[in-house]
Structure 1
Amino acid sequence: MGNVVVSIKDIAKHAGVSISTVSYALNGNSKVTEETSKKILAVAKELNYVPNAAARTLKKRETRIIGAFLTTFEGAFYGELLQGMKEELNKRGYDLVICSGTQSHRMLPEGMLDGAIVLDKRFSDEELILHANRGHKLVVLDRELSHNNIVQVLLDNKAGATFAMEYLIRQGHKKLYALTGPEGSFDSEQRLAAARQTVERGDPELDYCELPGNFDKASGTAAAKRIASEYDGPVGVFCLNDEMAIGMYHGLKDTPYHIGEHVHVVGFDHIDIADFLQPRLTSIDYSERRWGSVAAEQLIRLIEGSGAEHERIYVSLVEGESVGQV
Structure 2
Amino acid sequence: MVSIKDIAKHAGVSISTVSYALNGSPKVTEETKGRILAVAKELNYVPNAAARQLKPRETKIIGCFLTTFAGAFYGSLLQGMKEELNRRGYDLIICSGTQSHRMLPERMLDGAIVLDRFFTDKELLLHAERGHKLVVLDRELNHPNIVQVLLDNKAGATFAIEHLLEYGHRKIYAVKGPEGSFDADQRLQAVRQTMERNGTAEYIELPGNFDKASGEAAAIRIMDEYTGQVAVFCFNDEMAIGMYQALKGTAFRIGEHIHIIGFDHLEIAEYLQPPLASIHYSEKRWGAVAAEQLIKLITDEGAEHERIYASLAEGGSVQRRNSFS
Bin the TM-score by the shorter chain: 0.7 to 0.9
Q: 1:226-245, aligned counterparts within 5 Å?
A: 226-245=221-240
Give yes or no for contact 2:147–2:304 (8 Å, CA) kept in 1.
Answer: yes
User: In the alignment, which residue of structure 1 is the partner of 2:183?
Assistant: 187
**Structure 1: which amino acid aligns with 2:169?**
H
The amino acid that maps onto 2:276 is L
Going from structure 1 to structure 2, the CA distance change for 1:252 and 1:59 (only over 3 Å counts) comes to: closer
Q: What is the DSSP-based 3-state SS (H/G/I as helix, E as strand, rest coil) of the residue aligned with 1:148?
A: coil
Matched, 1:106 2:110: no
2:156, 2:312 within 8 Å by CA — same for their partners in 1? yes
Q: Which residue of 2 aligns with 1:35?
A: none
The structural deviation recorded for 1:29 is: 10
Give deviations 1:37-58, integer Å, cap 9, x for gaps: xxxxxxxxxxxxxxxxxxxxx9
CA displacement at 1:252 relative to structure 2: 1.1
Does 2:80 correspond to 1:89?
no
Q: How does 1:165-176 map to 2 (within 5 A)?
A: 165-176=161-172
Give the drift of 1:321.
0.4
Partner of 1:12: none
In the alignment, structure 1 residue 266 sits paired with structure 2 residue 264 = no
1:290 is matched with: 285
Give the drift of 1:325.
0.7
Aligned mates of 1:222, 1:244 — CA distance in 2 = 9
Give 1:154-165 correspondences, 5 Å limit.
Answer: 154-165=150-161
Hey, what does 2:203 align to over in structure 1? 208
2:257 maps to a residue whose letter is: H
Query: How many residues are matched?
Result: 271
Relative to structure 1, the CA distance from residue 59 to residue 215 in structure 2 (aligned partners, 3 Å threshold; closer, same or farther) is: closer
For normalisation by structure 2, the TM-score amounts to 0.82
Alignment correspondent of 1:142: 138
User: Quick one: structure 1 residues 108 and 213, their matched pair in 2 at CA, closer, same or farther if it must change by over 3 Å?
Assistant: same
* 1:319 is aligned to 2:314: yes
Structure 1 pair 149/29, CA: closer, same or farther in 2 (3 Å)? Answer: closer
Distance 1:191 1:147 in 2: 25
Code of the aligned partner of 1:261: E
The 3-state SS of whatever aligns with 1:324 is coil
Summarize deviations over 1:131-182 as a string: whole Å, max 9, x none. Answer: 0000000000000000000000000000000000000000000100000011
What SS does the corresponding residue of 1:161 show, helix, strand or coil? helix
Alignment pair present for 1:251 and 2:246: yes
Contact preservation (8 Å) 2:56, 2:107: no
Using the TM superposition, give the Cα deviation of residue 59 of structure 1 relative to its aligned residue in structure 2, in angstroms.
Answer: 9.3
What corresponds to 1:280 in structure 2?
275
Aligned ranges for residues 29-40 of structure 1 at < 5 Å?
A: none
List gaps (5 residues or longer) in structure 1.
Answer: 1-27, 31-57
2:129 equivalent to 1:133: yes
Q: Distance in 2 between matches of 1:29 and 1:69?
A: 29
Going from structure 1 to structure 2, the CA distance change for 1:258 and 1:148 (only over 3 Å counts) comes to same
Deviations 1:109-139 (A, max 9, x none): 1010000000000000000000000000000
* Aligned-partner Cα distance in 2 for 1:292–1:276: 24
2:74 to 72, 75, 78: 78
Q: 1:62 deviation in Å?
A: 1.1
Name the amino acid aligned to 1:98.
Answer: I
Q: Deviations over 1:4-56 (max 9, x none)?
A: xxxxxxxxxxxxxxxxxxxxxxxx999xxxxxxxxxxxxxxxxxxxxxxxxxx
- Paired letter, 2:216: T
- What do residues 246-265 of structure 1 show as CA deviations (whole Å, max 9, x unaligned)? 00011112321110001000
% same residue: 73
1:76 aligned counterpart, secondary structure: coil
Between the aligned partners of 1:80 and 1:184, the Cα distance in structure 2 is: 24
Indicate the SS of the match to 1:237: strand
